Structure 1
Amino acid sequence: MAFRSSRREFLQASAVAGVGFWVAGGVRAEESKSPNEQIQFACIGVGGKGQSDSADAGNSGVVVAICDVDDRTLEGASKRFPNAKKYSDFRKLLEEMGDKIDAVTVSTPDHVHAAAALMAMRMGKHCFCQKPLTRCIYEARLMGQVAREKKVQTQMGNQGTANPALRRAAALLKKNILGTVKEVHVWTNRPIWPQGGERAAEQPVPPYLHWEEWIGPAKFRPYAPGYHPFSWRGWWDFGTGALGDMACHTLNMPYAGLDLRNPVSVQAETSGHNRDSYPKWSIITYEFPANDWRPALTMKWYDGGKLPPKELFTEFEDPKAPTASGALIIGDKGKLYSPGDYCSEFKIVPKDLVVPEVEFERSPGHFEEWVQAIKTGKAAMSNFPDYASPLTETVLLGNLAVWVANEPGVGAKVEWDAVNMKSTNISGLEEIVKPVYRPGYELDV
């Protein structure tokens, strides 16, 4: 441990000696060619989004270890990183390579995020973790706490955070450009995977798949089609449904601009579900309390083909509005509409509304921002303690309302005590907030 700690200081000192700090309008640091000064990465999950995350790691340092539960995926990654040691169990990777790595990327199904990231951070490793940060609210809280305690640099994979348009829109909202905001609408075209049905019949585990490791911390179930490699998102034990999959992207700009933290209640209308697979669609209403600079407001989330009323978009004179996904913020002086998931653009009405110039820090790129955080100690925007963990808590609270609304129609309102992570009016939600983990994957130490 002492060796890695001193190496962390060495990496930061090397960056400071060069052009290490990134600021608005700044320049990118020159990359060192010395192996001792390069960040050494382990990549946990190298398929799907893990393919681009590991590529970013390889472009930012040296990938010394790769891990995946699918041998086909692992072999493909091995061709890209021929010198990296291969693993199918992240625990073994971290145990054996702990003194040889500085940072990890975690790009697994949602249910493995916390187990892998927490083990790495407790060893003092910097961590980039895909969105949503975790599967459960308790895990999100714990990830932020451990990152802060261990003083590691972190970043969640909600890459729209780096968009100049998102940062500008958030800065404008903090300037009250729309006046008093009372209403926010956010929607997605997800799910684009099967959801709301029954489990498929058990089948033999394919020879290339390490099923025990794929299950990881979740309750064990036999292998069947419909989980790996993509459709796990639609199952309560493994994924977070359409809400968890996309809200860390599409809600990101309103969250940043309006401090959408610690909701006091959530209520869902759904198509109904069996509490094993998520519903085909849902509409979730969040209530946020007033904070020290804005009044209380309501946010509505829509998925599965549900959309905000079209008349809310009349002033934008856009026949395509609302698009398949996006965000709309309504104030008493105007509206802000961002089509798409990542706030790469936005529009404000009325057209004669005076839009001031605002200052905001520009990002060198989402992954690069994390790399520079490792080198300089300057936290990335979507770091776990200050940004990603509370965002994920906000997002995942909606799934408590979805759980309650298992019958078609509107479910009961869940009153929420955010500080203590518990409902004040509905019992039986404790295991959704903090599940029981399989032996060998416990999160509390």
Structure 2
Amino acid sequence: MKEEKDNRKSRISRRDFMGAAAAVAAFTIVPRHVLGGPRRQAPSEKLNIAGIGVGGQGGGDIGNVSSENIVALCDVDEKRAGGTFNRYPAARKYRDFRKMLDKEEKNIDAVVVATPDHNHAPAVIRAMNMGKHVYVEKPMAHTIFEAREMTRVARQMKVVTQMGQQGHAGEGLRLTYEFIHDGAIGTVREAHIWSDRPIWPQGIGRPKETQSVPETLDWDLWLGPAPWRPYNRAYAPFNWRGWWDFGCGAMGDMAVHNADPAFFCLDLKAPIAAEAETSPVNNETFPKWQIITYYFPARRGRAPVKLIWYDGGKKPSRPPEMGEDRKLDSNGILFVGDKGKILCGGWSGAPRIIPETKMKAYKRPPKTLKRSIGHHKEWVKACKDNNPKGALAGFEYSGPFTESLLVGNLAVRLGRRVVWDARKMKATNAPEADRYINKSYRKGWEL
């Protein structure tokens, strides 16, 4: 989303920002878990929700759960979050999510997290350890270890979780599953996935100049667990995805959406290897373009699968079955079976068998999968029902999915094929990968 424009009438002053809690202290909505007891249905029909990172995408996520009580909001940039702050004037405002969670622990049922990737795990794990349900934007985690740990804590605490892969609730994903399991294109052994990302700079070095930190931004809190560095507009508020310390690159941004049909429909688990072809790689930013190949073993009588990811302007060759007058869209996935091909749009879009003559002749199978009530709605309902399985992009699914995708980033950063042992969480041929599988955290931000 575009950065909120500065407006004197809507801008929250620093005094108002830091003291809003006192101004609304007299108005408190009792959370469901207090009214109904732990893990029991409460008389109240609404959840009490807090938001962490509520400018940009986070503001949209809060809007999608605004049927509930929005009781607390946290953002390190009061200008960028100003629109969301103004839409929920009764919500108590914070800058530091650690302070918010500590102070609001007894007042909230669930937390929505939409910070940059490097802050996901510290915020999410802290909330889950308090017994709070969590929605977190994609990618779920910054490292493989974080994804594994977030899944473990969610399971241990029996909370409802959801990663922001909106297409997982869509009709396109279900139709693709039903087509493939109907044998529409035979046995699938290969899938090609691509995106028009990055739409931010990559393949660049660290800025040499130091810029003044905007008055409305707390730069130290924005950095959170990441190593300290001087502020520069090259990082925030938008371009952070391209930096190793903060984001997961184009693949982390869009494979969560566009590769979801492959993982879901082909029942993929962990890859056994990954390799990458890229433009030059440095220790600051992701490369300008990359092609990552993942290798998945045979499982439960199903064939092994090779999955190829493309970004930075790279795409697979246009399949001849498309016809000369058609081109591949900017985002999508192509399933290659031994009896045909299926082409889907980005964000788990609707499937089409190609060529179009086969699609027209195809007798569609029955709808065997349950349809979703909506990505955010199913999370809200699951929270109210205390049913972790009710949120279909919960960490039991999205955790292993995220881990698998991030194995590709190991191959990119090391510049070599990675042989992966998911059980041990090790690149067995590359011990130097350990420092990227897990990472160190600044004091006060540990998991």
Q: CA deviation at 1:294?
A: 1.2
- Tell me which residue corresponds to 2:46: 38
User: What secondary structure is seen at the aligned counterpart in 1 of 2:51?
Assistant: strand
Q: Aligned in 2, Cα 1:318/1:164: closer, same or farther, shift over 3 Å?
A: farther
Correspondences of 1:231-310 after superposition (within 5 Å): 231-310=239-318
The CA distance in 2 between the partners of 1:176 and 1:426, in whole Å, is: 39
Q: Aligned in 2, Cα 1:280/1:267: closer, same or farther, shift over 3 Å?
A: same
- Tell me which residue corresponds to 1:19: none
The CA distance in 2 between the partners of 1:6 and 1:65, in whole Å, is: 17
Q: Aligned in 2, Cα 1:280/1:153: closer, same or farther, shift over 3 Å?
A: same
Q: CA deviation at 1:328?
A: 0.4
- Tell me which residue corresponds to 1:332: 338
Gaps of 5+ in 2: 1-30
The CA distance in 1 between the partners of 2:170 and 2:87, in whole Å, is: 28
Partner residue of 1:207 out of 215, 235, 242:
215
Partner residue of 1:100 out of 103, 107, 110:
107
Q: CA deviation at 1:293?
A: 3.7
Superposed CA RMSD: 1.8
Matched residues, percent identical?
A: 44
Q: Which amino acid aligns with 1:344?
A: G
The CA distance in 1 between the partners of 2:35 and 2:445, in whole Å, is: 28
Matched, 1:112 2:116: no
Partner residue of 1:361 out of 370, 373, 385:
370
The two structures have a TM-score, normalised by structure 2, of 0.88
The CA distance in 2 between the partners of 1:233 and 1:344, in whole Å, is: 24
Q: CA deviation at 1:396?
A: 1.0
Partner residue of 1:219 out of 224, 227, 234:
227
Between 1:291-300 and 1:170-179, the stretch displaced more is: 170-179
User: What secondary structure is seen at the aligned counterpart in 2 of 1:108?
Assistant: coil
Deviations 1:1-42 (A, max 9, x none): xx975556578535xxxxxxxxxxxxxxxxxxx7x3310000
The CA distance in 2 between the partners of 1:210 and 1:194, in whole Å, is: 23
CA contact (8 A) 1:11 1:37 kept: no
- Tell me which residue corresponds to 1:408: none
Between 1:184-193 and 1:201-210, the stretch displaced more is: 201-210
Q: Which amino acid aligns with 2:179?
A: L
CA contact (8 A) 1:329 1:336 kept: yes
CA contact (8 A) 2:169 2:392 kept: no
CA contact (8 A) 2:175 2:350 kept: no
Q: Which amino acid aligns with 2:348?
A: C
Between 1:239-248 and 1:168-177, the stretch displaced more is: 168-177
How many aligned positions are there? 411
- Tell me which residue corresponds to 1:349: 354
- Tell me which residue corresponds to 2:23: none
Q: Which amino acid aligns with 2:404?
A: T
CA contact (8 A) 2:268 2:296 kept: yes
- Tell me which residue corresponds to 1:30: none
User: What secondary structure is seen at the aligned counterpart in 1 of 2:107?
Assistant: coil
Q: CA deviation at 1:206?
A: 1.6
User: What secondary structure is seen at the aligned counterpart in 2 of 1:391?
Assistant: helix
Q: CA deviation at 1:417?
A: 0.4
Between 1:371-380 and 1:269-278, the stretch displaced more is: 371-380
CA contact (8 A) 1:8 1:102 kept: no
Q: CA deviation at 1:171?
A: 3.1
Q: Aligned in 2, Cα 1:8/1:290: closer, same or farther, shift over 3 Å?
A: farther
Gaps of 5+ in 1: 15-33, 406-411
The two structures have a TM-score, normalised by structure 1, of 0.89
